[in-house]
Amino acid sequence: MDARLLDPADRSWPDAIVDIGVRLHAGKNPTLFPQHFLQVVLPRLGGHIFWFTEAGKELGIGFLLPRGYESSSIGDRPLLTQPAYTLRCHAVDDETGHSLATLAQAAVQAVQPFVPDAHIHFYNPAGQHTYQPTSQEIGNISIGRPNAEEAAQIPLLNQRIWGSPPELLYPADIHSIEFQLGSSLVARVDGELAAFLFGFYKFGGPKLPADWSERFGGSLRLESQTLGVLPDFRGMRIANLLKKVQAEEAWQKGIGVINWTADPLQFPNAALNFGLLRAISFHFYSDLYPFRNNLNRVPASRFGLTWLVGSERVQNVAITGARAPILDLPQHPEIERVNHNFETLHLEAKGEHIAIEIPEDWTSIQQNNVAEAQLWRETTDRLFSHYVGTEPGQYVITGVATDRDQRFLLGQRVDDALLAHLGHINE
Within a 13 Å sphere around the CA of 220, how many CA atoms are in the beta-carbon half?
Answer: 18
The 10s digit of each residue's pLDDT in 92-150 is 875 444 566 677 889 999 999 999 999 999 999 989 999 999 999 998 999 999 999 99
pLDDT at 79 over 70: no
Structure confidence by residue, pLDDT tens digits, 305-322: 999 999 999 988 877 766
Phi, psi angle pair for 144, to nearest 5°: 180, 180
CA 234 from centre of chain = 21
Which tens digits make up the pLDDT trace of 219-255?
A: 999 999 999 999 999 989 999 999 999 999 999 999 9
pLDDT at 202 over 80: yes
Amino acid making up residue 144? G
Rounded Cα distance between 229 and 243, Å, is 12
Determine the pLDDT at residue 75: 61
- The percentage of residues in the chain with a pLDDT greater than 90, rounded to a whole number, is 82
CB count within 10 Å of CB 413 equals: 17
- Please tell me the distance from the alpha carbon of residue 367 to that of residue 297, in angstroms, as a whole number: 8
Give the pTM.
Answer: 0.94
What pLDDT is recorded for position 88?
97
Query: Region 26-33: what's the mean pLDDT?
Result: 94
Beta carbons of 339 and 345 less than 8 angstroms apart: yes
- b/e per residue 175-188 (b: at least 16 CB within 10 A): bbebbbbbbbbbbb
Q: What is the pLDDT of residue 24?
A: 94
- What element of type H or E holds 240? helix 238-252
Mean per-residue pLDDT of the chain: 92
Neighbours of 251 (CB within 10 A): 17
Number of other residues whose CB lies within 10 A of the CB of residue 28: 9
